[in-house]
Structure 1
Amino acid sequence: MTYENPYMNGQIWPELNILEILRQRNPLVICITNDVVRTFTANGLLAIGASPVMSECSEDLKDLIVHASALLINIGTLTPDKVSYYKKAIKLAKTHEVPVVFDPVGCHAGDYRLSVVLDLIKSGNISLLRGNQSEIKAIYDALSPNNQADTSTTGKGVDGGQIEDSAVIAYRLTRLINCPVVATGEEDYVSDGTRVFAVPHGHPIMTAV
């Protein structure tokens, strides 16, 4: 079955039928996520055709990871014990060749969060980095080799604001850390290090949800 994307100006691309393929495969997605969004994450994955499972300890993860198609790590409710778990989870995912999606929640709001995020990114085993534009900018500023990064950010906590030049930042960060980057906001930006796609379907009210 082929779908027509209304934003493709009448073009039909079979490659865009990824949701149909996903529903057919019903992949297991392990979620190590924060207490606030656990239910939303599970229901969202179910809605698109994936099979979510939440994991809270290494012993459990060892059993699950062999069946998984992806691992999500969201650091929203951060503790030192969880940091240790994140590291073990990323190592297990690498062993079993499971891609890791990393959400660096609130890393622009404090030095501890940012240090945890940088440490996990430097493992080199993150497959996709997804954050709001303030979070992505904070990571880029910390890793930027020219030492001329602007350390100011917009937003506090997780309510990151729209950042000027986010498309450029996403592109450059992708090349720095060698993995795709998604910077979300009123307009989302997705980069693979070669191209940047803009997705203009966000809304400022989303920061209030």
Structure 2
Amino acid sequence: MNYENPYMKGLTYSKLNILETLRQRNPLVICITNDVVRTFTANGLLAIGASPVMSECSEDLKNLIVHASALLINIGTLTPDKVSYYKDAIALAKKHEVPIVLDPVGCHAGAYRLSVVLDLIHTGSISLLRGNQSEIKAIYDALNPDNKKDDSTTGKGVDGAQIEDSAVIAYRLARLINCPVVAT
């Protein structure tokens, strides 16, 4: 379907359709994700035209990363061994210029999770931070010493609460960490 619009500068709708472009490219997305959402993540990526692959060891990742268009790290089922793997994965992705999406599951519910997320953010290699509003606020509060800490965030995991001014917090956090932030 061709759609003429003066603001599109001669491009047709099909050239601007992001999903169509994604389907044509069929990018490999390496997912280091939690046990709970593994199938959902794979099916969601397949549905939009990406090619997901789940990885849980460094040897496997070394072979896959050279073909990857993105790396997803979801810390939902966190263990000390996985933290080392996350760091190895980030280093490999950075070496091969692969964008990294970090999902800081439950980081607002406990100090250990939050410290892991902050450590991963401090690598300077995260390309996109995506979390619920409570997770994003917890990260912002931890990184912004000038901010009065407000412990009013509720929720224990993916069930984070609605946060007043979440868009402002996401914007400010994005500027603090020099990375786009999505708060759901």
TM-score (norm 2): 0.91
Counterparts of 1:149 and 1:21, CA distance in 2: 43
SS at match of 2:114: helix
Matched residue, 1:205? none
Residue 155 of structure 1 deviates from its aligned partner by 1.4
Residue 158 of structure 1 deviates from its aligned partner by 2.3
Asked if the contact 2:14–2:20 (Cα under 8 Å) also holds between the matched residues in 1, the reply is no
- 1:56-109 C-alpha deviation (Å, 9 max, x unpaired): 000000000000000000000000000000000000000000000000000000
SS at match of 2:31: strand
Unaligned runs of 5+ in 2: 4-11
After TM superposition, the structure 1 stretch with the greater mean CA deviation from structure 2, 109-118 or 153-162, is 153-162
Matched residue, 2:172? 172
Counterparts of 1:171 and 1:13, CA distance in 2: 30
Residue 15 of structure 1 deviates from its aligned partner by 7.4
Taking a change above 3 Å as real, the CA distance of residues 168 and 30 of structure 1, as seen in their structure-2 partners, is same
After TM superposition, the structure 1 stretch with the greater mean CA deviation from structure 2, 142-151 or 17-26, is 142-151
Counterparts of 1:152 and 1:81, CA distance in 2: 31
Taking a change above 3 Å as real, the CA distance of residues 164 and 179 of structure 1, as seen in their structure-2 partners, is same
Asked if the contact 2:109–2:156 (Cα under 8 Å) also holds between the matched residues in 1, the reply is yes
Q: Does 1:182 align with 2:158?
A: no
After TM superposition, the structure 1 stretch with the greater mean CA deviation from structure 2, 139-148 or 165-174, is 139-148
Matched residue, 1:73? 73
Taking a change above 3 Å as real, the CA distance of residues 79 and 70 of structure 1, as seen in their structure-2 partners, is same
Residue 148 of structure 1 deviates from its aligned partner by 1.8
Q: Aligned partner of 1:92: which letter?
A: L
Unaligned runs of 5+ in 1: 4-11, 185-209
SS at match of 2:53: strand
Would you identify which runs of 4 or more consecutive aligned residues in structure 1 move more than 6 Å? Answer: 12-15
Matched residue, 1:110? 110
SS at match of 2:30: strand
Matched residue, 2:86? 86
Counterparts of 1:21 and 1:35, CA distance in 2: 30
Q: Which has the higher contact order (CA 8 A, sep 6+)?
A: 2
SS at match of 2:78: coil
Asked if the contact 1:154–1:163 (Cα under 8 Å) also holds between the matched residues in 2, the reply is no
Asked if the contact 2:30–2:53 (Cα under 8 Å) also holds between the matched residues in 1, the reply is yes
Residue 16 of structure 1 deviates from its aligned partner by 5.1
Q: Aligned partner of 2:58: which letter?
A: S
Counterparts of 2:2 and 2:118, CA distance in 1: 41
Asked if the contact 1:171–1:181 (Cα under 8 Å) also holds between the matched residues in 2, the reply is yes
Matched residue, 1:119? 119
Asked if the contact 2:62–2:92 (Cα under 8 Å) also holds between the matched residues in 1, the reply is yes
Counterparts of 1:134 and 1:96, CA distance in 2: 32
Asked if the contact 1:173–1:181 (Cα under 8 Å) also holds between the matched residues in 2, the reply is yes
Equivalent pairs counted in the alignment come to: 176
Q: Does 1:157 align with 2:182?
A: no
Matched residue, 2:7? none
Counterparts of 1:38 and 1:111, CA distance in 2: 25
Counterparts of 1:152 and 1:162, CA distance in 2: 10
After TM superposition, the structure 1 stretch with the greater mean CA deviation from structure 2, 139-148 or 34-43, is 139-148
- Structure in which a larger fraction of residues adopt helix: 2
Matched residue, 1:7? none
Counterparts of 1:137 and 1:16, CA distance in 2: 34
